[in-house]
Structure 1
Amino acid sequence: MADIRVNSDGPLKGRVALVTGASRGIGEAICARLAQEGAKVVASARTAESGDSRLPGTLTETVDRIGKAGGQAAFIKADLALAADRERLIQEAEAKFGPIDILVNNAAITYFIPVEEFPEKRFKLMMEVQVYAPFHLSQLVIPGMRERGGGWIVNISSPAGLHPKMPFQRGRGGTVYGMCKAALERFTTGLASEVYDDNIAVNVVSPGLVDTPGVAVHGLINENSKDRVQPIEYIAEAVYRLASGDPKSMTGRIDYAEPFLKELGVKPAELV
């Protein structure tokens, strides 16, 4: 971790950010990036303490990381597959820090199984967490954003949402994952058009391949893909820029992190 302090008077001073899937990896990095620009961050996931998951990383560690750098953060454990947990998440987040200004839908649960073998239960779970949860959470925060004159919603997608191209090769069972991300991207642009007049920006950041615990458990980094691995700072920076940009000129975008930052002419900041 870099020896960097939070800028409590930064561009996000006074804003409240809610980040899902924030116990490790991309979600943790996004929390750190938003906090270091002055946002009050609510981190959410299912893994609050060590032992809650077989993967490394916890909400406690995410919040401690921000606190040690001088930032404000709290965590709320929630299962986004459950409607009641989604509603409770928003209620408790607002009780801790106030209405949500920035919503980052990052949480995911993924199974790589060929279509003919894909269990209905797992299909429904993936769609619930990766598609309906962002939809529902957005429904819950939009009224408050509208009342306060604006807000930012950033959804985390993947190149898996792109259509496969010829010549086809037998994949490793990523069709359902791709369906979820394609649906999330179409939701993003549709919602952006609906809330444009409310000064609410809705965008997508597509990370590419990032070395995270989730990627490792699926074995996605190998000899053929290792040269495509992108530093996690790129994704965190892209989210920050989309969560602080002008909602009238920077909305309805589907952006890949590195080319987006090149377009803006910025380099990713080191993280607290």
Structure 2
Amino acid sequence: MSEARINPDGALKGRNALVTGASRGIGEAIAARLAMEGARVVASARTAEEGESRLSGTLHETVERIRRAGGEATFIKADLAQSVERERLVEEATAAYGPIDILINNAAITYFIPVEEFPEKRFKLMMEVQVYAPFHLSQLVLPAMRERGRGWIVNISSPAGLHPQPPYGRGRGGTVYGMCKAALERFTTGLASEVHEAGIAVNVVSPGLVDTPGVAVHGLINEQTRDRVQPIEYIAEAVYRLASGDPKTMTGRIEYAEPFLKSLAVKPAELV
């Protein structure tokens, strides 16, 4: 991995990035990686300060991490399950730094419950946060992207979006999660085709299994899966590459982080 540092004259100099789900885990890593290339980063999530969540990590800590390293960042607390909150988020992010050049849709809320037992309220909440929120946020940032003739949207998916394959066994109740990610990926490719001529790239990064606070809560890392754990730097690097690529050629992609970086002959940078 290359040395961790903020490069104010990096490839993202002068660009404004909005990263959702950035209080911890993958979102925090993405925010740091974009800032390392000179982007002004707006980090958003529901957890702004310590004590607001049972999970470790806060927006305050994410922003302080970037600022200590010499980067530029601010945070906006928002609940993406609420339409009015999504609208406020984009308005305040734009007021802070200017129109959004890069939108990273990473926020998620996930329940692993078998279909027969899945409550309607939780089903609708997952669809709202993982599918409609990225759709709505994209709607909100696209007009300014069109006006400037450039923009990058990266949606964070999961291999759960792939169809299960035989031999079938006892599942973990991940059907609804898989539905959300499959829908997100189809949205990505569809939107990419719609905005290609406007110079806007829309892509997916699908992480492998990553050791994050959310993954730990669901117990997804165990003796059977431990050898599949992927360093978080791979996901952050893949997102950065898709958020800085040529929209004419690097769009409409569903990329798995590690093989994508190998195809570019790129090693992930160490994070600040």
Shared fold, TM over 0.5: yes
CA distance in 2, matches of 1:208, 1:108: 16
* 1:87 lines up with 2:50 in the alignment: no
The Cα shift of 1:21 comes to 0.1
Deviation string 1:209-265 (CA, Å, 9 cap, x unpaired) is: 000000000000000000000000000000000000000000000000000000000
Letter in 1 for 2:210: V
Shift of 1:5: 2.7
TM superposition score normalised by structure 1: 0.99
Going from structure 1 to structure 2, the CA distance change for 1:147 and 1:218 (only over 3 Å counts) comes to: same
> Aligned letter for 1:4?
A
1:39 counterpart letter in structure 2 = A
Residue correspondence of structure 1 range 1-272 to structure 2 within 5 A: 4-272=4-272
What is the distance in 1 between the residues matched to 2:73 and 2:3?
18
Shift of 1:52: 0.6
How many residues are aligned here?
Answer: 271
State which drifts further: 163-172 or 63-72: 163-172
Task: Give the distance between the partners of 1:215 and 1:91, measured in 2 at CA.
Answer: 31
SS of equivalent residue, structure 1 residue 195: helix
The one-letter amino acid paired with 2:78 is A
Unaligned runs of 5+ in 2: none
Q: Deviations over 1:164-221 (max 9, x none)?
A: 0111111010000000000000000000000000000000000010000000000000
Distance 2:184 2:256 in 1: 15
Contact 1:4–1:69, Cα closer than 8 Å, also in 2: no
Please, what TM-score do these two structures have when normalized by structure 2? 0.99
Distance 1:3 1:245 in 2: 22
Amino acid at match of 1:193: S
Gaps of 5+ in 1: none
Q: Which of structure 1's runs of 4+ aligned residues deviate more than 4 A?
A: none
- The SS at the match of 1:96 is helix
Q: How many percent identity over aligned positions?
A: 83
Q: Distance in 1 between matches of 2:11 and 2:170?
A: 47
Q: Is the 8 A contact 2:4 2:269 kept in 1?
A: no
Question: Deviation of residue 3 (structure 1)?
Answer: 7.8
